[in-house]
Amino acid sequence: MTATAFVGGRILTMAAGPEPEVVVVESTRIAAVGDRSILEAWPTATVRDLAGGTLCPGFIDAHNHLSIAALHPRWRDVAGAASLEGLLDEIRRQAVAEPDTAWIRVCGWNEGPIAAEHQGVHPTRTDLDGLGLDRPILVAHYSLHQGVVCSSGLDELGIGRTTAAPQGGEIVRDAAGLPTGLLIERAWGGAHGESLAAYAEPERWGEHIVARAHQLLSQGITAVHDAACPPAAEAVYRRLATAGVLPISVVMMPHAPALLHNDLGPRLGGPPTGEGDQQLRVGAAKLFADGGTSIALDVTMQGKVLRFGTTMDDMAEHLLAASRRGFRVAVHAMGNVGVQRTIEAFAAAASESPDDEHRFRIEHAGIASPAQARELAALGAVAVVQPGFVDHVGRQSGGITFDEHAWLPFRDLAEAGVTLAASSDDPCAPFPPLWCAARGADRTTSEGLRFEAEQAVDFEAWLRAYTSGSALAGGQEGERGAIVPGLRADLVILEGALVPTPPPRVVETWVAGVPVFRTEAPG
Ligand SMILES: [Zn+2]
């Protein structure tokens, strides 16, 4: 059996002990780690010179919506539309590109530039109706937490003047009480679901997932946790895994059929957390404590109370139900109210079964206090955070700071003893881990704005968060996330210093002992 010996660079094992000089990979596993003397036991090993680069475990993106991100190439991305007219143009192009879908869907809507043109007013159903297209239209927000729907779409969804919004959602209305088309949080779930129906054909959906997975591999990502996997997406992943064509490892986090809902229904009777193998495994059940754009806040700013946002009031109940059925749980909590409710729900589950290893996951923990960080640490929770959010959250925060709560409180969490798992939230934010890690390390947006710099975490700590931290979040610490004999040889080779500016780059990615991506040699 051929073996490969990696030498000649730094080796970040993400495990205790000194940095080794040599790593030997045999078949799909790490076979040996140590100083040069171990090479004597592997005289026929192929030597791979790292040429001064760094060898790391493959990156694990612990919160990546791969199954939905995979479909994005099918939709015009309107992120760059600087005006309403530009947005409408993109919708026209989408209608032509996909003439047979029941709904016309565009993605990546970012209220910024268009709202600026319209003094903060979002596009409305009337704007979309003016296109005169033959099908319902959905303009999906980049966050996947809201969207704008045209009149025929609202009709199809049964949303009218007297329709009550679901708990955890908002149907925005004009002065006359008519829906404007803007549907927020749970109120947009129906439009999301209807507009996806045309893309749910398993074979083609699977092809998109495979294509997206290859892009992830090119950035060093060898495993993802799909952070909201409805039953239909689970079925597609199972198909790919059975056929042996899933290029990266996936942890599927079961989610209700309707986006942002917490009732997993019959899924709780299916395979629980941990079922599966190293290529495809069931992860924690995914629940929501608050909104994603309508985050639930209760904070003070220079003593003034600021309280708003959307909570998902059924989270605690469904968390206990999932926990009782043998699922670990992961809760989306962006605002400090969401974080607090999550802490309380974790505590309730822990007291109900104190002997279980719960490995609670809090997703985002976007705005939290040091006291909340300590409570999460006491519960043994892992915080699945997004260093890349420094870019867009920093831009949107407008420099506002709170008295007791920090935005993206990475340092507070780490100092409290909470393990950080790193992730992108792709497609809601860019996925390249080294770019994200750089944002989390320098706390600087693309425009150069420093954003709560005291919450910075250093670059190498982000590499740990992307490997051993994420493995812990996924219950995979026995199989990946470190360079330790016996673990899977998912590896990444980096070139350049481990600093945020400029960050290193991925030159090679290995999956299960096989190189699957290599950059073109320069020049
Ligand atoms: Zn997400």
Q: Which amino acid is at 131?
A: L
Backbone angles phi, psi at 113, to 5 degrees: -65, -40
- pLDDT beyond 50 at 297: yes
Cβ count within 10 A of residue 307: 11
**In the prediction, which pLDDT does 235 show?**
98
What is the Å distance from ligand 1's center to 332 Cα?
8
The Å distance, Cα 423 to ligand 1 centre, comes to 9
Q: Where are the alpha helices (DSSP H) in 54-120?
A: 66-69, 84-97, 111-117
Residue 284 · residue 273 · CB < 8 Å? yes
Instruction: Quote the CA–CA distance of 97 and 522 in Å, as a whole number.
Output: 37
The pLDDT confidence band at residue 521, using thresholds 50, 70 and 90, is: low
pLDDT at 119 over 60: no
Give the integer Cα–Cα distance in Å for 67 and 60.
16
What's the pLDDT score for residue 83?
86
309 CA distance to ligand 1 middle (Å):
18
| End-to-end Cα distance, the chain | 34
Token pair belonging to 118: 């319209």
Above 50 in pLDDT, residue 53?
Answer: yes
Better pLDDT: 399 or 327: 327
Q: What is the C-alpha to C-alpha distance for residues 463 and 351, in angstroms, rounded to an integer?
A: 33
pLDDT at 122: 81
Compute the distance between CA of residue 9 and CA of residue 389 in angstroms, rounded to an integer: 31
CB atoms within 5 A of ion ligand 1 belong to 227, 425
165 CA to centre of ligand 1 in angstroms: 22
Distance (Å) from CA 109 to ligand 1 centroid: 16
Q: Give phi and psi for 455, each to the nearest 5.
A: -95, 10
Q: Look over the chain and give the mean of its residue pLDDT values, rounded to a whole number.
A: 95
DSSP state of 388: T
Q: Report whether pLDDT(418) > 50.
A: yes
Q: How far is the CA of 69 from the centre of ligand 1 (A)?
A: 11
- Residue percentage of the chain with pLDDT more than 90: 93
pLDDT tens digits, 449-479: 999 999 999 999 999 999 999 999 999 999 9
Question: Could you tell me the distance, in angstroms and rounded to a whole number, from the CA of residue 65 to the centre of ligand 1?
Answer: 6
C-alpha 523 to ligand 1 mean position (Å): 39
Question: What values do phi and psi take at 299, rounded to 5?
Answer: -135, 170
The one-letter amino acid at 506: V
128-175 pLDDT per residue, tens: 999 999 999 999 999 999 999 999 999 999 999 999 999 999 999 999
Model confidence at 120: pLDDT above 60: no
Gap between the Cα atoms of 244 and 269, Å rounded: 26
Q: What is the mean pLDDT of residues 353-365?
A: 94
* Nearest 10 degrees: Cα torsion 397, 402, 407, 411: 140
Confidence of residue 398 (pLDDT cuts 50, 70, 90): confident
Query: Which pLDDT tens digit goes with each residue over 479-509?
Result: 999 999 999 999 999 999 999 999 999 999 9
Mean pLDDT calculated for residue range 60-85: 94
**Ligand 1 center to 518 CA (angstroms):** 29
Contacts of 387 (CB under 8 A, 6+ apart): 408, 410, 422, 436, 437, 438, 439, 440, 441, 457, 462, 465
Q: Which residue has the tokens 């150069």?
A: 448
CA distances from 209 to 195, 230, 239 (A): 18, 15, 12
Residue 118 is predicted with a pLDDT of: 56
Place of tokens 């296109």: 131
Name the band, by pLDDT with cuts 50, 70 and 90, for residue 114: low
**Residues 165-203: tens digit of each pLDDT:** 999 999 999 999 999 999 999 999 999 999 999 999 999
**Other beta carbons within 10 Å of 175:** 5
Model confidence over 6-35: pLDDT tens digits? 999 999 999 999 999 999 999 999 999 999
pLDDT over threshold 50, residue 107: yes
What is the percentage of the chain residues whose pLDDT exceeds 70? 97
The rounded Å distance from CA 291 to ligand 1 centre is 11
CA of 153 to the centre of ligand 1 (A): 25
How far is ligand 1, taken at its centre, from the CA of residue 64, in Å? 7
DSSP state of 468: I
Q: What is the pLDDT of residue 523?
A: 44
Which ranges of 405-476 does DSSP label H, i.e. alpha helix? Answer: 410-416, 433-442, 459-464, 470-473
Between the CA of 227 and the centroid of ligand 1 the distance, in Å, is 6
Between CA 510 and CA 492 the distance in angstroms is 6
